[in-house]
């Protein structure tokens, strides 16, 4: 079935209470959709760009593996720490202005990394990570508000744009650094597209627009007390932990195996291109059966096969392994986003679940790159890292089997269990 026809579990996803802003139409709707995709392109570039130049950054700054691990971890940690603040800021400033603030933070933080010192890279990662956290939370809300009849299609395009931005950064960071004559400039250059996106978004941010309301019945029990919400958050966090381990360390791992810097960056780009395909195709895959358990398990299988190839297969076949890895990881991201929609009974709970899943999930994900750095420093190489990846995959499969069941969160009563669905959620 086409992505726009993805069914929702019964009871159907309902609009949040309260007045809805007038929906964009015609050319305005197309331009808004393209603007959201352009913003999404800027929400992942800082991760693979640092990965591609991490050996140069370590040599130039004298950073050891622990400091390098911290440089790759801080932005991911910020995704979790700053996600809860996005909705309150949007309510105060308006969603469009909050998105503009996010873009400005991404651009400023990325430019700050161009100073080329460890403190500057850490500070830049913190500022840019905060901006990315806001974008992660607010863009899906805009999709729900302005494209209520195309949620699945726009979610697929949005997640695909995230991967596209990472792919471009992975492929072009090393050539850009070589052309500019500085590894630090190769990091800072990605502030330019963020600045361009902010300029294009500025006209929408000038008039204040009402933020989408995150409803919920009065007296409903808190979402953090719901076991299904925690299962969805765990699934989001574990697949994100593997993804950011790949963003931060796949290129250095391949370079240690013998690939040159440019080839390692291109191979990381191949992986991210595979993520684009997985992001777009996975929502339909996730709705073929009664629930999402089989889809999530199969996608984790692709990830394990791809990682094994990157670590152990001949380097001549690493392109195939990277493509399989990306296909699986992109699919897992899209399935995680789809689960948020299908496990929520209405738009208000979906917004709250998205904030919880991203806040908890990305905080959990931040530990992945950090653990890789610790293992490398303790063992003197990456030989033990596959054990960590296999453990994350196993836990991810388990969380998918729990979160992927055809159930819906029920917050109507303090002790209400999650409702099962009768096929519609698959």
Q: What is the pLDDT of residues 329-346, one digit of tens each?
A: 999 988 888 888 788 776
- Predicted pLDDT of residue 25: 62
What pLDDT band is residue 126 in, cutting at 50, 70 and 90?
very high
- Predicted pLDDT of residue 128: 96
Distance of CA 306 to the CA centre of its chain: 19
- Is the pLDDT reported for residue 21 higher than 70? no
What pLDDT band is residue 5 in, cutting at 50, 70 and 90?
very low
Residue 20 lies in a domain: no
Residue 2 lies in a domain: no
What pLDDT band is residue 194 in, cutting at 50, 70 and 90?
very high
Put simply, whether the predicted model's pTM sits higher than 0.85 gets the answer no
- Is the pLDDT reported for residue 350 higher than 60? yes
Whether the Cβ atoms of residue 300 and residue 400 lie closer than 8 Å to each other? yes
- Is the pLDDT reported for residue 11 higher than 60? no
What is the DSSP track for 208-221?
--PPPP----TTPP
Q: Report the relative pairing of strands 419-420 and 407-408 from DSSP bridges.
A: antiparallel
Could you give the number of structural domains in the chain? 1
Residue 18 lies in a domain: no
Residue 394 lies in a domain: yes
Three-class secondary structure of residue 408 per DSSP: strand
Residue 7 lies in a domain: no
Whether the Cβ atoms of residue 13 and residue 424 lie closer than 8 Å to each other? no
Range of the domain at 75: 31-213+220-420
Residue 392 lies in a domain: yes
Q: What is the pLDDT of residues 46-60, one digit of tens each?
A: 888 888 888 889 999
CATH number of the domain to which 49 belongs: 1.20.1250.20
What pLDDT band is residue 176 in, cutting at 50, 70 and 90?
very high
Query: Out of 17-21, 138-142, 217-221, 386-390, which region has the weakest mean confidence (pLDDT)?
Result: 17-21
Residue 182 lies in a domain: yes
- Predicted pLDDT of residue 415: 52
Instruction: For the chain, give the mean pLDDT.
Output: 82
Look at 132 and 358; give whichever has higher pLDDT: 132
Residue 367 lies in a domain: yes
């Amino acid at each position: 079935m086409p992505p726009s026809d993805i069914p929702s579990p019964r009871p159907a996803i309902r609009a949040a209470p309260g007045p809805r802003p007038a929906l964009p139409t015609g050319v305005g709707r197309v331009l808004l959709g393209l603007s959201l995709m352009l913003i999404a392109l800027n929400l992942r570039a800082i991760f693979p760009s640092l990965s591609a130049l991490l050996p140069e950054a370590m040599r130039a700054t004298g950073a050891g593996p622990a400091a390098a691990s911290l440089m790759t971890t801080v932005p991911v940690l910020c995704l979790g720490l700053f996600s809860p603040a996005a909705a309150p800021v949007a309510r105060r400033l308006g969603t469009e202005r909050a998105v503009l603030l996010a873009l400005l933070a991404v651009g400023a933080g990325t430019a700050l990394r161009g100073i080329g010192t460890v403190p500057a890279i850490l500070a830049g990662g913190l500022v840019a990570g905060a901006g990315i956290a806001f974008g992660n939370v607010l863009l899906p809300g805009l999709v729900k508000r302005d494209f209520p009849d195309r949620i699945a299609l726009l979610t697929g395009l949005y997640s695909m744009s995230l991967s596209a931005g990472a792919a471009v950064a992975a492929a072009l960071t090393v050539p850009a650094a070589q052309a500019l004559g500085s590894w630090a400039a190769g990091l800072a250059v990605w502030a330019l597209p963020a600045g361009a996106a902010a300029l294009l978004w500025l006209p929408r941010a000038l008039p204040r627009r009402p933020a989408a309301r995150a409803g919920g019945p009065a007296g409903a029990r808190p979402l953090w007390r719901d076991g299904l919400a925690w299962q969805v958050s765990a699934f989001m966090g574990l697949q994100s932990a593997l993804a950011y381990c790949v963003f931060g360390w796949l290129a250095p791992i391949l370079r240690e195996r013998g690939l040159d810097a440019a080839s390692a960056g291109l191979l990381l780009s191949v992986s991210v291109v595979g993520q684009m395909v997985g992001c777009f195709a996975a929502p339909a895959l996730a709705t073929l059966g009664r629930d999402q358990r089989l889809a999530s398990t199969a996608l984790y299988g692709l990830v394990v096969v791809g990682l094994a190839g990157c670590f152990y297969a001949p380097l001549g076949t690493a392109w195939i392994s990277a493509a399989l890895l990306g296909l699986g990881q992109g699919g897992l991201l899209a399935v995680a986003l789809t689960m948020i929609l299908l496990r929520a009974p209405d738009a208000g709970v979906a917004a709250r679940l998205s904030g919880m899943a991203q806040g908890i999930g990305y905080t959990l994900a931040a530990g992945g790159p950090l653990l890789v750095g610790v293992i490398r420093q303790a063992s003197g190489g990456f030989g033990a890292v596959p054990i960590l990846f296999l453990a994350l995959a196993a836990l991810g499969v388990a969380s998918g089997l729990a979160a992927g069941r055809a159930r819906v969160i029920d917050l109507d009563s303090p002790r209400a269990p999650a409702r099962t669905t009768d096929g519609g959620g698959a």
